[in-house]
């Protein structure tokens, strides 16, 4: 099918490239010339495993990028909106959705054939039907359901494994105002015949996305609350506590052959230094604001956010337990990205932690395999020394704060134990056993 994707950010570009991989003809649209040029030259503007290879494979064959929205819509049957929906001051900022809906409407005015417009950006329930649809009708002077269809198709990609997640989805949610829209949207997912598909209305599709992310964020904050309590009371380790909880067969079922399944959701039920990224913090806050506007107190999700905001401070309390006066102390930060497999630092726990350490006049050495350039943009200071290896960053420091679960950090205890006087290790991701070093602290111990 001929598909246009508006917005070549994370969701848009990954979707566009993957739709090309499954055989569709894809036009990606963005108003940023530099990005469009890069894509047309086979270069990915973002870091994501496997993306560059797929982009190179399809560009100028069944994948193109353009700044010309009109041409893209007139030459395709279905348009996916994948523009950003940042969290504004106290609510979701829909300005880009609004702008693009108007522009698409204007093009549809001159398109004689039926077209389907699908929202893929994460938007609060009601946005597709109550904002996008009316704008499309207003600017096209046409009728939704008759001249064009309007759908909602949330994405469930994780940064770092977005291509695999897209190519092997766990579910496909197909929202639409009518059967015709849903069927057209279903058509682009025909290559995924094995995947569970849920056909529903647009508002439910929007709510499924927020509910999924809010559940995962809740599991993390729940585990952190338990971990913090274990730390406070002593003689308990959250890792062991959670191990006991995970063994509930309703969480990790036992098969008939007595083998136990360990579902990956378990990894969200572990204490750590907090969640971050471009999705969980923004989506939970957007749902809280949506709920509060509707008159609900949103008590549980408000606590999920509060616990998460406090979590980086737990790392710092462990540090000040050993070094009450941080002035002049040499600290290594291992891991800047909000999680492994990405250079994304949005809402990373590393940000408040480093800001605090800078305010206390510590000497910071930082190392992350891919996120250092991002960090340089955020901190813009000469007070952080960026290093090229674990060894370089941890040499001659008083303490090491491990903030991201990068696989290459697995060698850390071995490296630190070789020093004459190994530094204190504060393990924000509980990667290592408690006895791995003479001085070890971890969240939840
Ligand atoms: C999240 C969801 O997992 C995706 O399903 C969703 O599509 C995406 O948001 C989105 O809305 O676009 P993402 O933010 O890329 O994906 O990352 P996750 O891997 O879920 O990590 C989010 C947070 O959970 C991170 O802070 C990470 O440290 C934490 N996490 C992640 C865990 O605590 N345990 C894990 O096993 C994985």
Average pLDDT over residues 18-27: 98
The dihedral through the CA atoms of 321, 302, 304, 379 has a sign that is negative
* Active-site amino acid positions: 279
Going by the DSSP 8-state scheme, the letter that residue 262 receives in this structure is: -
Q: Please tell me if the CB atom of residue 323 comes closer than 6 angstroms to any atom of ligand 1.
A: no
Q: Which is it for the CA torsion 264, 343, 81, 70, positive or negative?
A: negative
| Residues 51-104: tens digit of each pLDDT | 999 999 999 999 999 999 999 999 999 999 999 999 888 889 999 999 999 999
pLDDT at 46 over 90: no
Q: Looking at the CA of residue 155, tell me the nearest atom of ligand 1.
A: 7
The model carries a pTM of: 0.95
User: Is residue 190 packed enough to be buried (19+ CB in 10 Å), middle (13-18) or exposed (0-12)?
Assistant: exposed
* pLDDT tens digits for range 271-293: 999 999 999 999 999 999 999 99
Ligand 1 near 280 CB (within 6 A): yes
Return the DSSP state at 129. I
Instruction: Please tell me what DSSP assigns to residue 405.
Output: -
Q: Which residues pair with 118 in a beta bridge?
A: 80, 151
Please, are residues 358 and 397 in contact by the beta-carbon 8 Å criterion?
Answer: no
- Classify the C-alpha dihedral 352-358-361-365 as positive or negative: positive
Q: What is the bridge-based pairing of β-strands 363-367 and 384-386? A: parallel
Q: In this structure, are residues 143 and 177 in contact, taking their beta carbons and an 8 Å threshold?
A: no
Average pLDDT over residues 397-426: 97
Q: How far apart are CA 39 and CA 45, in angstroms?
A: 7
Ligand 1 atom nearest residue 405's Cα = 28
Which atom of ligand 1 is least distant from the CA of 217? Answer: 24
**157 within ligand 1 shell (Cβ under 6 A):** yes
Helix or strand or coil: residue 353?
helix
Task: Residue 354: name the closest of 334, 373, 324 by CA.
Answer: 334
Q: Return the DSSP state at 178.
A: S
Longest dimension (CA), the chain: 77
- Residue 71 pLDDT: 98
**Pairing of the two strands 172-176 and 148-152:** antiparallel
CA 104 to chain centre: 27
Q: Pairing state of beta strands 363-367 and 330-334?
A: parallel
The residue that leads in pLDDT, 343 or 308, is 308
Ligand 1 pocket mutation, candidates 10, 213, 222, criterion most atoms within 8 A of CB: 213
Angle between helices 51-58 and 10-21 (to 10 degrees): 50
What is the Å distance from ligand 1's center to 158 Cα? 6
Per DSSP, what are the bridge partners of residue 174? 199
With a 6 Å cutoff on the Cβ, whether 156 touches ligand 1 is yes
The pLDDT value recorded for residue 173 is 98
First to last CA, the chain: 54
Whether 276 is in the pocket of ligand 1, judged by its Cβ within 6 Å, is: yes
Show Cβ contacts of residue 165 under 8 Å, excluding neighbours closer than 6 positions.
156, 157, 158
- SS3 call for 96: helix
Asked if residue 115 has its Cβ within 6 Å of ligand 1, the reply is no
CA angle at residue 234 from 228 to 236, to 5 degrees?
Answer: 80
**Does pLDDT of 174 surpass 90?**
yes
- For ligand 1, atom 31, the nearest C-alpha belongs to 268
| DSSP element (H, E) containing 10 | helix 10-21
Residue closest by Cα to atom 10 of ligand 1: 279
For residue 148, list its beta bridge partners: 115, 144
| Whole-number pLDDT of residue 160 | 87
pLDDT at 56: 98
pLDDT level of residue 260 (50, 70, 90 thresholds): very high
Secondary structure letter of residue 8 according to DSSP:
-
Does the structure show a pLDDT above 90 at 402? yes
Counting Cα atoms < 13 Å in the Cβ hemisphere of 276 gives 26
Ligand 1 atom at minimum distance from 213 CA: 2
């Amino acid at each position: 099918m001929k598909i246009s994707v508006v917005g070549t950010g994370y969701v848009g570009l990954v979707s566009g490239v993957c739709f090309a991989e499954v055989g569709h003809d894809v036009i990606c649209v963005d108003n940023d010339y530099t990005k469009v040029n890069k894509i047309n030259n086979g270069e990915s503007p973002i870091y994501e495993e496997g993306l560059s290879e797929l982009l190179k494979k399809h560009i100028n064959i069944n994948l193109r990028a353009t700044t010309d929205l009109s041409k893209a819509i007139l030459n395709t049957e279905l348009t996916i909106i994948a523009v950003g929906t940042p969290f504004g001051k106290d609510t979701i900022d829909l300005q880009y959705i609004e702008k693009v809906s108007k522009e698409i409407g204007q093009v549809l005015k001159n398109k004689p054939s039926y077209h389907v417009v699908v929202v893929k950006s994460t938007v609060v329930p009601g946005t597709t039907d109550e904002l996008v649809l009316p704008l499309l009708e207003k600017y096209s002077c046409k009728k939704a359901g008759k001249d064009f269809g309007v759908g909602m198709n949330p994405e469930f990609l994780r940064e770092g494994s977005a291509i695999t997640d897209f190519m092997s989805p766990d579910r496909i949610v197909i929202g639409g105002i009518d059967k015709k829209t849903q069927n057209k949207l279903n058509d682009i997912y025909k290559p995924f015949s094995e995947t569970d598909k849920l056909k529903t209305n647009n508002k439910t599709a929007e709510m499924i996305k927020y509910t999924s992310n809010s559940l995962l964020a809740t599991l993390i904050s729940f585990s952190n609350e338990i971990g913090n309590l274990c730390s406070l009371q002593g003689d308990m380790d959250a890792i062991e506590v959670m191990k006991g909880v995970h063994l509930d067969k309703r969480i990790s079922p036992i098969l008939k052959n007595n083998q136990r399944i360990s579902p990956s959701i378990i990894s969200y039920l572990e204490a750590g230094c907090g969640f971050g990224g471009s999705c969980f913090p923004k989506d939970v806050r957007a749902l809280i604001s949506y709920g509060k506007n509707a008159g609900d107190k949103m008590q549980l999700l408000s606590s999920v956010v509060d616990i998460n905001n406090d979590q980086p401070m737990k790392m710092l309390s462990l540090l000040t337990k050993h070094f009450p006066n941080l002035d002049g102390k040499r600290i290594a930060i291992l891991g800047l990205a909000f999680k492994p497999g990405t250079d994304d630092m949005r809402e990373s726990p590393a940000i408040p932690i480093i800001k605090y350490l800078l305010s206390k006049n510590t000497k910071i050495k930082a190392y992350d395999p891919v996120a250092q350039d991002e960090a340089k943009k955020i901190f813009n200071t000469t007070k952080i020394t960026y290093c090229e290896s674990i060894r370089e960053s941890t040499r001659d420091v008083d303490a090491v704060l491990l903030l991201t679960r990068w696989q290459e950090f697995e060698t850390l205890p071995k490296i630190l134990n070789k020093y004459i006087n190994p530094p204190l290790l504060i393990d924000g991701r509980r990667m290592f056993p408690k006895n791995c070093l003479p001085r070890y602290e971890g969240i939840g111990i």
